[in-house]
Chains A and B, each alone.
Chain A
Amino acid sequence: MSKARLMQGNEACAEGAIAAGVRFFAGYPITPSTEVAETMAKLLPKVGGKFVQMEDEIASMGAILGASLAGQKAMDATSGPGFSLKQELIGYAACAEIPCVLVNVQRVGPSTGQPTAPSQGDVMQTRWGTHGDHPVIALSPWSVRETYDATVMAVNYAERFRTPVVLLMDEVVGHLREKVELPEAGELELYPRRTPKKTRAEGYQPFEPDEDLVPNVADFGTGYRIHVTGLIHDNTGFPVGSPEVTENSIQRLHEKIARVGEEIIHTEEYFMEDAEYAVVSFGGTARTAYEAVQNARKKGHKVGLLRLMTIWPFADKAIERLAAKVRGIMVAELNYGQIVHEVRRAVNGQCKVELCGKYNMKAFEPAEIEAGIDALCGEA
């Protein structure tokens, strides 16, 4: 019997989370992410996990942070308006180094916007939404199967780096139904919860960085009696009003992720061997861009596609390599222009960078991106 199943991106996200070991989910209903919560409500108790529908978006974020500190891998899912509300505790998770995964199935904003038409308008909010300097990891899948894989990856990164990871989906992929074959349990590599390497008697300090700069914070209830706070703290976990500690702490939060470099920056190239022009895209829009690039090739344009799966940290090196190779880049994204600014920064004037943006409730048609490619190649 075939193991193939028909499912939507949001369901694949829930399945991936459970396969990755998530046993606690707190959420609040919001389209177009609700199916993630609904699927978790159904599946979690079957594996002994727990689902709780909280009173609001902030509470659900608080609940997953509490559950994570008590030792469970934890996840929450939302869309734009809820994502705005969760920013406070995303910052808390970054500062207090609490592993958690937050899914944002984007819709048109600002504000209540256009529920629940597709958009990729939360790229910059994902990076800078919470106040203060902080790192973030964000992954943006382009298919149902990749949503499953990206969710597993998000859980692993959250645990490994003890940082919030955003699964930045869009309505196109969230509600897309595709035939998928999911891996068997046991085929996946899972990053286990980090545990203390010292006892209290040996002078354990919960926020003392390990060799990879990530601390091995003890779970609550394991006898370490640790203190966790959103105030800037030293290795003991207690707040200190010291310029030196503050500087070191903010530096380490960034460095623990920056130091692994390309390892967590996933990109894919298509038709790039002889390309003189390139389209850069991500998420659901990259599917349309893929078809548009194929069509443009039939017309004789030497164009390729660079797809970003990791959105943050930004793929600077991949863009730099691209800029050294092609005469022009077009960024296709379902917004007024967000990733394009990052691409321009990384290109640094080496070639021209155009935007193919859209923000009228409709996903891209291949012809629209093709027209952009025609203009990009024609002007050369």
Chain B
Amino acid sequence: MERSYEKYFRQNRLPHLWCPGCGNGIAMKAIVEAIEKKGLSQDNTVIVSGIGCSSRASGYMDFDTLHTAHGRAIPFATGIKLANPDLNVVVITGDGDCTAIGGNHFIHGCRRNIDLTVVLFNNNIYGMTGGQASPMTPLGKKATTAPYGSVDRPFDACHLAEAAGATYVARSTAFHEKHLVDMIAGGFENKGFSFIEALVQCPTAYGRKNKLGSPANMMMWMRDNAVMKAAWDKLPEDKKIGDKFPIGCFYKAEALDYDTAYDQVIERAGGVAK
């Protein structure tokens, strides 16, 4: 079996710290597969992450990598991209990191259409701190800080990204690994803010609290409930019930990315872009 993706990992930093059965490793591998698929240069690609389980990924990946502060990956990434537009900048974040403490940065990154590819590992919970509710914990699901079930209405991060101005929005799951690779690769193709939500299983915190069974059971739940966008669009509203959710590329738009737009500012000011 070909293991061409191994060169994208820092072998001396492995094994990773994620729990057995965690979906983060699948999502991390999907990113490097997409990088390989699109032929992005290892020396010219920067991986930026926030804080939390998802964000530990940056340390394992053999690129220039930046493990920032909680919620702040997108501002750091914005500075990197503007300072050196030749770099491919990939952000790895989690549901708490991106939509709670980093929520403001997330929507403004989308609004600016800065050329980043943001992959959100959504495990529906704060895993690193032991299983507290996040803004993407589904209604009624349990967490250590929602012992009677969450009453906080969750974000649909894809809707949020689209409404805020992202020019590429997609979702996939750890079960649909090949599809996830395609969704991330689509993000690399887009010159602008690309957002990919990767649903990943957290058997230790979210799964255990909510009696969702083994990691395999959690992935089978993804298989049974994810509906490809084309099929989802044909589905009558009364069938979009229970745990069913759509996956695929939900939105694509042509719009000037921030860095190209700023080059026009430099031109108008009479300067010479570097």
Task: Give the interface of A toward B (CB within 8 A).
Answer: 23-24, 26, 42, 45-50, 52, 54-56, 58-72, 74, 88-89, 92, 220-231, 238-239
Contacts and interface: CB of A to CB of B under 8 A. Distances in A.
Given A56-B104, A59-B75, A223-B43, A89 B69 contact: yes
A225 B62 contact: yes
Q: Would you call the interface of chain A mostly helix, strand, loop, or mixed?
A: mixed
A248 B42 CA distance: 32
Q: Would you call the interface of chain B mostly helix, strand, loop, or mixed?
A: helix
B58 A227 contact: yes
Interface of B: 13, 42-44, 46, 48, 58-59, 62-69, 72, 74-84, 86-87, 104-105, 107-108, 262, 265-266, 268-274
8 contacts: A23-B274, A48-B271, A59-B108, A62-B75, A63-B75, A63-B78, A92-B69, A220-B66
B68 A62 contact: yes
A239 B17 CA distance: 13
Contacts of A72: 83-84
A186 B122 CA distance: 52
A47 B81 CA distance: 18
A238 B76 contact: no
Contacts of B46: 70, 220-221
A228 B65 CA distance: 6
Given A26-B75, A65-B76, A230-B69, 20 more contacts: A45-B269, A46-B269, A46-B270, A48-B274, A50-B262, A52-B82, A55-B104, A62-B76, A65-B79, A68-B83, A70-B83, A92-B68, A220-B64, A223-B43, A225-B63, A225-B64, A228-B65, A230-B67, A231-B67, A238-B13
A341 B210 CA distance: 55
A47 B271 contact: yes
B82 A63 contact: yes
B271 A46 contact: yes
Contacts of A49: 271
A50 to B, nearest CB: 5
B71 to A, nearest CB: 8
Contacts of A52: 78, 82, 262
Contacts of B262: 45, 50, 52
Contact of B64 (A46, A62, A224): A224
Nearest to A61: B75
B199 to A, nearest CB: 27
A228 B59 CA distance: 9
A74 B59 contact: no
Contacts of A59: 72, 74-75, 78, 104-105, 108
Contacts of B72: 58-59, 62, 88-89
A231 B273 CA distance: 35
Nearest to B43: A223
Contacts of B268: 45
A230 B55 CA distance: 12
A71 to B, nearest CB: 6
Contacts of B77: 66
Contacts of A238: 13, 59
Given A46-B269, A92-B68, A71 B83 contact: yes
Contact of B48 (A23, A55, A66, A89): A66
A59 B104 CA distance: 9
Contact of A66 (B65, B78, B270): B78
B66 A69 contact: yes
B75 A24 contact: no
A72 B84 CA distance: 8
A80 B211 CA distance: 48
B43 A221 contact: yes
A88 B75 CA distance: 14
Contacts of A48: 266, 271-274
Given A220-B46, A231-B67, A68 B79 contact: yes
